């Protein structure tokens, strides 16, 4: 099976921000509103496979993607998470980082030890964003990126 994060049809629908090395996409199975992913454009599976210029760009790009996800979710709190390996809950082999906007009484507001279990369960659920919803959400995220372009460039 081809990697979903390398399929242009999927990327076209789910991407809302990119630079030379990375792309921000909306999660097809969001655990909370604004649950986005940062993925390298190249198909790599491991963190160590990032090249030096990609490593340098990573935090820089992530800040921008987080800014947009936060504006969309109307919060400035978030988890930023890498799941490595099946036992950690990784389902897609293409390296990806979760941006999970957090709010006071969100569904992940559980004991720390329950957090990843709940997260994993929600991620694997059948609740998939419909094509129509995805188009609407991605277009909102893009318009946030455009509206705050100058501020984002400074991050």
User: Between vectors from CA 125 to CA 21 and to CA 65, what angle results, nearest 5°?
Assistant: 25
Nearer to Zn ion, 38 or 152 (CB): 38
Active site residue 96: yes
Site string for Zn ion, 80-109 (x = CB under 5 A): --------------x---------------
Of 6-14, 105-113, 124-132, 142-150, the segment contacting Zn ion by CB under 5 A is 6-14
Of 2-10, 49-57, 97-105, 131-139, the segment contacting Zn ion by CB under 5 A is 2-10
Nearer to Zn ion, 3 or 128 (CB): 3
Q: Does 5 bind Zn ion (CB under 5 A)?
A: yes
3-state secondary structure of 101: strand
Sign of CA dihedral 139, 140, 141, 143: positive
Q: Write the DSSP string, 94-142.
A: S--EEEEE--TT-TT-S-HHHHHHHHHHHHTSS----HHHHHHHHHHHH
Instruction: At 126, list the tokens.
Output: 């059948």
Residue nearest to Zn ion (CB): 3
Nearer to Zn ion, 43 or 103 (CB): 43
**Residues belonging to the active site:** 96
Using CB under 5 A as the criterion, which residues of the chain lie in contact with Zn ion when the complex forms? 3, 5-6, 43, 94
């Amino acid at each position: 099976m081809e990697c979903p994060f390398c399929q242009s049809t999927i990327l076209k629908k789910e991407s809302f921000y990119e630079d030379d090395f990375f792309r921000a996409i909306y999660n097809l199975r969001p655990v909370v509103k604004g649950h986005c992913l940062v993925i390298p454009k190249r198909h790599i599976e491991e963190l160590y496979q990032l090249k030096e210029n990609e490593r340098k760009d990573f935090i820089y790009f992530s800040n921008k993607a987080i800014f947009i996800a936060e504006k969309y979710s109307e919060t400035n709190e978030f988890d930023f998470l890498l799941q490595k390996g099946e036992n950690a809950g990784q389902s897609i082999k293409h390296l990806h980082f979760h941006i999970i906007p957090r709010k006071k009484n969100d569904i992940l507001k559980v004991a720390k030890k329950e957090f990843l279990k709940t997260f994993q369960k929600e991620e694997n659920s059948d609740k998939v964003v419909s094509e129509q919803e995805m188009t609407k959400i991605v277009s909102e995220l893009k318009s946030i990126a455009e509206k705050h372009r100058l501020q984002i460039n400074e991050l």
